[in-house]
Chains A and B, each alone.
Chain A
Amino acid sequence: MWLRMAWRNVWRNPRRTGIVVSAVAIGIGACLFSMSLSFGVAQQMVTTAIETQLGHLQIHAQGYEENRDLSTRLEDGGKRARAALSARSDIAAFASRVRGQGLLNSPRASAGVRIVGIDPVAEAQVTSLAKSLVQGVWLDGQSPRVLIGERLAKRLQVGIGKKLVLSVQDLAGELTGRAYRVGGIFHAPSSELNSSVVFVSLDQAQSLFGLGEAVTEIVVVAKEDDGLDRIQAELRAELAGVAEVRTWAELQPLLKYMAGAVHQNAYVMYATVFVAMAFGIANVLFMSVHERAREIGVMLAMGMKRWRIVALVVAESLLLTLVGLFIGIAAALLGTLAFRDGIDFSAFAEGLAAFGANSRVAPVLRAEDLMVPIGVGSFAALLASVWPAWRVASARPADSLRRL
Chain B
Amino acid sequence: MPQRIEVRLAWRNVWRNWRRTALTVAATVFAVFLVEMSVAMSAGTHSKMIEDGVKMASGHLTLSGRGYLEQRTLEQFVPASAELERLLDRTEAIIGWAARVSSFALLSFGDRSNGVAVLGVDPARESSVSSLPTRVSSGRFLSSDGRREIVLGAALARDLAAEVGDELLLYGIAYSLETAYELFRVVGILRIPSPDLERALALISLRDAQEFFVYGDRVSEIAILARDAEAGLALRDPLEAALVALGTEGLELYGWAELMPELEQFVLLDRGGMYLQLIILVVVVGFGILNTILMSVLERTRELGVMRALGLSSGAVSRIVYLESMAVSAVGLVIGLALAAPCALYFEQNPIPLRGEFEAMTELLGMEPLIVFDFAPAQVGYVSLMVAIVALLAAAYPAFKAGRLRPVDALRSL
- Give the interface of A toward B (CB within 8 A): 15-16, 19-20, 22-24, 26-27, 30-31, 34, 37-38, 112, 191, 196, 253-254, 257, 269, 272-273, 275-277, 279-280, 282-284, 286-287, 345, 347-355
Contacts and interface: CB of A to CB of B under 8 A. Distances in A.
A280 B277 CA distance: 19
A182 B288 CA distance: 63
A22 B269 contact: no
A19 B264 CA distance: 40
A351 B269 CA distance: 8
A20 B23 contact: no
Nearest to B26: A279
Specify the main secondary structure of chain B where it touches its partner.
Answer: helix
A16 B357 CA distance: 46
A353 B262 contact: yes
B196 A196 contact: yes
17 contacts: A16-B294, A16-B295, A20-B291, A23-B284, A24-B284, A30-B280, A31-B280, A34-B276, A269-B277, A273-B281, A275-B30, A279-B30, A280-B284, A280-B285, A280-B287, A280-B291, A352-B269
Contacts of A277: 284, 288
A15 B294 contact: yes
Contacts of A20: 287, 291
A350 B364 CA distance: 21
A257 B361 contact: yes
A256 to B, nearest CB: 9
Given A276-B285, A286-B23, A350-B261, A34 B361 contact: no
Contacts of B115: 112
Interface residues of B, number: 41
Given A30-B283, A275-B30, A283 B265 contact: no
Contacts of B269: 345, 348, 351-352
B34 interface: yes
A261 to B, nearest CB: 8
Given A15-B294, A286-B23, A26 B266 contact: no
Contact of A27 (B266, B276, B283): B283
Interface in B360-385: 360-361, 364-365
Contact of B20 (A15, A275, A283): A283
A156 B57 CA distance: 24
A279 B23 contact: yes
Nearest to B277: A269
A284 B291 CA distance: 8
B27 interface: yes
Contacts of B226: none
B129 interface: no
In this complex, the member of A30, A191, A272, A287 whose beta carbon has the largest number of chain B beta carbons within 10 angstroms is A272
B111 to A, nearest CB: 8
B338 to A, nearest CB: 18
Given A34-B277, A348-B265, A351-B265, A26 B284 contact: yes
Contact of A38 (B273, B285, B357): B273
Nearest to A29: B280
Contacts of B266: 348, 351, 354-355
Interface in B247-275: 261-266, 268-269, 273
